[in-house]
Each structure stands twice: as C-alpha cells, then as structure tokens.
Structure 1
Amino acid sequence: MSKDQHVALYVTGSIAAYKALALTRLLIKSGASVRVVMTKAAEAFVTPLSFQVLSKKPVLTDIFAGEDAKSVDHIELADWTDLAVVAPASADIIAKLANGLADDMASLSLMATTAPKLIVPAMNQHMLDNPATKRNLATLQQDGVHVMAPDEGFLAEGYSGRGRMPEPESIMTSIKQLLQPTTPLTGKKVLVTAGGTRERIDPVRFITNDSSGKMGYAIARELQQRGAQVTLISAPTKLDVPAGVKLVQVLSTEDLAEAVTSAFPSADILVMAAAVADFKPLVSADQKIKKTADNDELVLKLTKTTDILKTVAKLKQPQQITVGFAAETQHLIDNATKKLTNKQLDLLVANDVSKPGVGFNGDTNQVTILQADHAPIKTALANKATIAKQVVDQISQRIQKEG
C-alpha cells in the first residue's frame, strides 16, 4: 500500500464493531491516512474516542456537526477518499446503499463517494440469508461495489453459522488489492471446477463422493479478489457463489467435461478442484430400480468416465496454465507426481484424505503443491481459505516467471 492513501472507514451497528479498531490500527501501520465515520448504532458498541485515538483524526457521527464551516462535511470526506470501507456493514447500511437512501452521515458520505467501495457484511446468518439482503448485496455488486464474503464460525447468538466479519488481516488483504489493483492475475480468465460429480444409477439414486466444494469455492473467491475474471464450474454444493464470480452448474462428469472443454480454449488458467468420478454406471435405468423378493443382490457394471485433464492436455497452448488436484490415501507424492507428469500439469495440489482434518467435506486442509521445476511445498494444516491463498500464490508466481 502506498503511503498516505486515504481510507474512509465506516463502522455500523454490529457486535463486530470492535474488530474495526484492529483494522484501523492495521491501516495506520500500513501507512494509510484513515478517517472514521460511525453510525449511532455503532456508538452503542464502541466509542468514537477509541477510533479518534487510533486515527489521530476526528470521528464523524452527525450530519450537522459542522466540523469545518468552509466545507460540507460529507462531500469533503467523499472527495478526500481513495477507498471507502464499510466494516462491519450491517443489513441496514447495505439496504440504504442499495436503494439510494441517505439519512445519516455514513449513508450521505457513501452516496457522494465516487472512489471504490468495499462492503464487509457482518450479521446473523438468518439476516444474511434474508431475500431482501441477498437482493441488496446483488444490487451493490451490479453497481460495481466490492463485497467481501463473510466468514463462518461462532456467532454472537451462541451458535455457529455464516455472517461473521472476517478478521482484520483478511480485510487488509482485500484493501491492498483494491488500492493496488494490478496483480499478475488482474484480468486473467480463470476456470475453476468444484464439488463432487454425480453419476446416475436411476432417477432417484446416484454415485458421488464426499466433496463439499469448499476448497474450489475458496480458490475461486481468492482468484476473484486478486483481479481475475473467474468462472466457477460447479457440481451440486450447498455453498454460496463468491461475489463477482460467474457460476456454471453441472451434474455429471460428462457435463463437467463438456463445460470445461468448451470454455478452456479462451481461458488463461484452469484449476481442476472438482472431485470427479472416475467411473459411472454402464447403464442408467429410466425408472427407479425396485427391490423385490427375487433380487437379493444388485450388480452394477461401471465404465470409465471422460478423463478431463487428459483431454485438456491435448488442447493446451504454451501460455495456458493448468492446475490439478489429487486426493490420495497412500503413496501421496509418488501418485501425485505421476499425475503431474501424465496430465501435463503446471501445478498439482495433493492431499492425503486419510488424515484427520484433511480434504473432503471439512473446513480445513493440508496440501503438498508440486511443480516439475520446484521442490514440493508442504503447507500446514489450516482453514481452506488460507490454503487457497497459498495455492493462488503459486499460480501468481508461475505467471510472473513465465512472463
């Protein structure tokens, strides 16, 4: 972050307001000049004096405060701003911004601000999932506002769910990317696959795996936040699509193969994080297979599915980067190295899913990143967002190396 960049921090009514104090401190340490605006609801959680001490500047709370008789406060602040950050962003301020309401210092100043805006929602999961909130967030994104996805975890209400304000360090990463928007990934067209494919046995049964899609979705989110144009080709999951990411939904491996091969020629990068079925039923019944007194056994004949990465290898151009995933239960490095070579991949992300906390259907992962011209990079066990950052770091370095 360049010195003396102007960041206007808007703090609204949420228990997460205390995190904004740490964010203010990080911004100041990075060299930014910070001015804070607080809503009345925010003052119920944290005092303006706390922000004033950290920022060394008066905190704006009142439309009619008249701090400077020679200027209109909310316009002066808007013109001063290089980046506006709303953290935490309550459902109320999100609704105001999406619908053009301006009845307090925060909403007035934000409406007048032409600089980029970063919204960091923080609220109970039920409020976040309310159709009105979803519509308002979608409207803001259509208007060019950057929206940072909330975290999952323990909420103030005493149970776990989505809606937690991300930690200040994560918000700082997004801020730096917005203030220094050019990265090796800026403008790159990236395909990311995620989730577990489904292979039909009959209209009501299918073969699948334990993939939740969380790793692929985390990678898609991280790539988008670094400026890439991301298309997420996803098998069924229960996850929300990351803000700013285009979603293409698929069911089977053949659906996924068709979507990938049709989009790959115009892509710069492919990240195959989906858990793809290696086999499918040779025949899928048109009607539900019924259990009768005569059929104590059901024999399924399976046949191989399309090898998507093998197909992609034939289409790949020298400037394109392909990244594969390998979920193994034994001989991790040997099996992963063979896949790296046989599928002509630039990077391969391997994990041993037999280990606790690693791989499918969990919130954590531990991977080893392989490249033909590098020593293996083994990560620590961490949440999947952290692993995604480390994987994307390696992709970014690959782009820089290859020019």
Structure 2
Amino acid sequence: MEIVLCVTGSVAAVETVKLAREFKRQGHSVKAFMTQEATKIIHPNALEFATGQEVVLELTGKIEHVKYSQADLILVAPATANTISKFAYRISDNPVNTLLITAYGHDTPIVFVPSMHDSMYDAVSENVAKLKEEGIVFLNPRLDEGKAKFPAIGDIVLESIRTVNLDRVKKNLTDDSLDESEIEDLNMEMLSKIAGLNVLISLGGTFEEIDPIRGISNRSSGKMGLELAKEAYRLGANLKILAAHHEVEIPKVFDVIDAKSSSVMSEKTIELVPDFDVFIATAAVSDFAPIVKEDYKISSSLNLSLEFEPVAKIIHQIKKINPDIFLVGFKAEYNIPEERMIQCAKTQMQDAGTDLVVANDVYKKGCEFGSDSNEVILVSDEIKKVGLNSKSEIAKSIFKEIANKI
C-alpha cells in the first residue's frame, strides 16, 4: 500500500515519526509532504529517516502534487484548522493543499486526523461537515484537557487501511490491480464479501459478583477477540463489540458496549443479534453464577460456603433469534486428544447450530490464556488445522474461512 503522509503545523507533528515507522513496519510505503509550519516543529530529516524517502517541502518541475496524487491513500496527520479550511474551499497555496486538490480530482481516498485546541475544532466544524459530505474521512480526535488531541497510532493505522479497502471495494478493483505483496495479504473476493457486513464480536471473560467487592471470573484476556475485531474493521465490516472483562486496550474507533456479567452479555446479545450478519462469540461466558449475591461486603472473618447455578448458554439462543446469522463459536479445551477436541466442536455445532467452531487446547505451549499466539482447528463441514501463529494471523485465517462459507 502506498501512503502519502501530509504533515501540517500542529505540535502533534512530533508523533508522525512513530506513525510513519508503524506503517513501514506493516509493510506499507510512505512518502511525506510537509508544510513550512510543520518544519518549525519537526525537522524534515526525521521524516526522511522514518519513511526512507526524501520529504516534499516545495513543488518543483517534478510536479510532485501530480506524481503522488493517485497513491492508495492521502493521510493528513496532524491536520490543522488552517489546512482543513483551505481544502474545504480548494485553496492551494502550499504543497499539501495542492496535493489534496489534485488527489480529490482523481478520487483518491483522503483521511484527515485533526489536532488542535477544542475551540478551534468547534470553529471549523462547518468545514469538517462540508468535507465529510464530499466523502473525506475524518478520524475523531481525543478530546482531552481542552484540546482535540492526536489519536493513538494504532487507531490511525486501522482507519487508514479500512479506508483504502473500502475504496477498493467501491471501485471494484481486482487482484490484477494489486502488487504481489498486497495479493498475499489481501484477497479481493474475501474483501468484497466481508466489507459492509454487520459483524458482532464478543470478547473477554464475564465476571459474576458474589458481593460488591468480590466475584468469580475466568482467565480469558480478550486478545483473540480483539485481533478478530481489528481484522473485521480493516476489511470494512460494520463492527460492534460486546466487551466483558479484558486485559487489552480496545481502539477508540470501535463501537463498544460493556457487558461485564453473563446476564448483561446475554441481554445485550439477544437485543443485538437480529441486526447482524455475523456473530463471533469469542467471549468466555461464565458457566456458573452465584445463586445469592449479597449487597454488602461479606466479612472475611466468616467461614464462607457458596452455591452456584448453571448459566444458560447464550450461543444456544442465537440461531433461534436470527436463523440467517453466520455464527462462529469457540471451544477452548485443556489437554485432551485432538480427535476429542474436534468432536466437542461438532457437538457444539449440533447443539447451537454454529456454522464454524474455532477449537484450541490451552494446555499447549504458546496457546495458553493471555498468550499472543495460538494454534487452532477450524471445524465446519470440513476440518482445517491452523498451526501455531500470532493471533493476528489466526484472525486472518478465521475471516478467510468465514468469507468462504458465508
């Protein structure tokens, strides 16, 4: 993917070296343009180091504004009130704004990442709204301490890749239009199937209160669910997350509903599934809950005996509510033979009507709760084994299987 990073005169320009390096780390090409005001905050040499390419500071006989106007994405980060307002009225008095106007004429996707004082952001809201109506994507800033601050680097990268993928679907691009590295990472047929789908993902482990201070939970970290959410978002799905207790930082660009307990998880799931095309149930929902929940802290000086009751399996209700939904279940087992694990997955398919079950053994090295890797078996009308790999790569394999089956 070829990205043109336009850096303007906000103090958040200091973050662009890390941003460019992250794009490069993920295998993308980055070319930087800078306004003169930006060079007062960060030296062009820093961005030349980060991108591995010469930075465009002025337009020359090489007509840089034309040469780079048909990149995969024009990313303005940070975007000042000045740059936003000039582009809204097609003023081209610097390399960045001239590039933006040329790129817009070529229908190249453009993403703005505003960064300024919140009063300035409010003052240019009409210009922002005007550009949004024209198809320009804006990544909402972090509103904090009276400032519209630069979002997390990961959020910017996610939104950028999503924007490019949605643009490819809109333009009906084929694999023939991609370079070899992109073909390996992205199948256009898969992208066209996933983009625009309503995808619901549950993640983490539910917490069942014993009293206002204590409770029981499980060791689910939410890492696998998060990687699946990131992949869904990158592929252009309309994503919603139901989040139980988790140990991961969920990107601010995601639409998240808290569902800490099994009862809330059940309530929200039943409410939402009628409107979704795909439900990926990665959350580890408690199998048992206390029969009695005290509304005061139980004294630690007492001998304590607790009674639990089984919790109704949420996954068994999904197909009854929405028979057409593509339902993905997870089956975590511990130190059992592979044949038995596959049989457990098939039993879930029979009982719950799941279309795909992701089975794994958390006893195996590298597959433990909280690990960054996994080894899974994809069980549907066929059996596919996915060897030990990062959870981000496992997520890609799962979505390829969903696209093949949906």
The aligned residue for residue 145 of structure 1 is 137
Deviation at 1:253, TM superposition (A): 0.6
The aligned residue for residue 322 of structure 1 is 327
Q: After superposition, what is the alpha-carbon deviation per residue over 1:320-355, rounded to whole angstroms, capped at 9, x for unaligned?
A: 210001111033223222222221110001111112
The aligned residue for residue 388 of structure 2 is 381
How many residue pairs were aligned?
Answer: 337
Give unmatched runs, 5+ long, in structure 2: 8-15, 87-92, 140-151, 173-191
The aligned residue for residue 57 of structure 2 is 61
SS in 2 for 1:350: strand
**Residues 203 and 20 (structure 1), Cα distance of their counterparts in 2 relative to 1, 3 Å cut:** closer
Give unmatched runs, 5+ long, in structure 1: 2-6, 28-34, 53-58, 121-127, 148-161
The aligned residue for residue 80 of structure 2 is 96
The aligned residue for residue 46 of structure 1 is 48
> Which of these residues, 10, 17, 33, is aligned with residue 5 of structure 2?
10
Relative to total residues, which structure has the larger helix share, 1 or 2?
2
Deviation at 1:185, TM superposition (A): 1.4
Q: Is the 8 A contact 2:31 2:51 kept in 1?
A: no
Q: After superposition, what is the alpha-carbon deviation per residue over 1:363-383, rounded to whole angstroms, capped at 9, x for unaligned?
A: 222211110x21x21112222
After superposing the two structures, state which structure 1 stretch, 176-185 or 220-229, moved more.
Answer: 176-185
**In the TM superposition, what are the counterparts of 1:183-198 in structure 2 within 5 Å?**
183-198=192-207
The aligned residue for residue 153 of structure 1 is none
The aligned residue for residue 352 of structure 2 is 343
Q: Is the 8 A contact 1:214 1:363 kept in 2?
A: yes
SS in 2 for 1:184: helix
After superposing the two structures, state which structure 1 stretch, 256-265 or 14-23, moved more.
Answer: 14-23
**In the TM superposition, what are the counterparts of 1:207-218 in structure 2 within 5 Å?**
207-218=216-227
Q: Is the 8 A contact 1:190 1:267 kept in 2?
A: yes
Q: Distance in 2 between matches of 1:146 and 1:367?
A: 37
Q: Distance in 1 between matches of 2:315 and 2:359?
A: 15
Q: Is the 8 A contact 1:196 1:277 kept in 2?
A: yes
The aligned residue for residue 84 of structure 1 is 73
Q: Distance in 2 between matches of 1:164 and 1:266?
A: 28
Report the AA paired with residue 388 of structure 1: A
Deviation at 1:111, TM superposition (A): 7.3
The aligned residue for residue 179 of structure 2 is none
After superposing the two structures, state which structure 1 stretch, 216-225 or 177-186, moved more.
Answer: 177-186
Q: Distance in 1 between matches of 2:400 and 2:228?
A: 11
Deviation at 1:42, TM superposition (A): 4.3
**Residues 304 and 119 (structure 1), Cα distance of their counterparts in 2 relative to 1, 3 Å cut:** farther
Q: Is the 8 A contact 1:9 1:37 kept in 2?
A: yes
Report the AA paired with residue 137 of structure 2: V
Q: Distance in 2 between matches of 1:316 and 1:104?
A: 54
Q: Distance in 2 between matches of 1:14 and 1:203?
A: 46
Report the AA paired with residue 262 of structure 2: T
Q: Distance in 2 between matches of 1:146 and 1:340?
A: 41
SS in 1 for 2:48: coil
Deviation at 1:201, TM superposition (A): 0.5
1:116 equivalent in alignment to 2:109: yes
**Residues 23 and 175 (structure 1), Cα distance of their counterparts in 2 relative to 1, 3 Å cut:** farther
Q: Distance in 1 between matches of 2:21 and 2:236?
A: 29
SS in 2 for 1:197: coil
Q: After superposition, what is the alpha-carbon deviation per residue over 1:43-78, rounded to whole angstroms, capped at 9, x for unaligned?
A: 3353799647xxxxxx6322xx3437xx8x65x568
SS in 2 for 1:323: strand
TM-score where L is the length of structure 2: 0.69
Deviation at 1:38, TM superposition (A): 3.5
Report the AA paired with residue 314 of structure 1: K
SS in 2 for 1:367: strand
Deviation at 1:261, TM superposition (A): 0.9
Cα-Cα RMSD: 4.2
Report the AA paired with residue 14 of structure 1: V
SS in 2 for 1:358: coil
Q: Distance in 2 between matches of 1:23 and 1:279?
A: 42
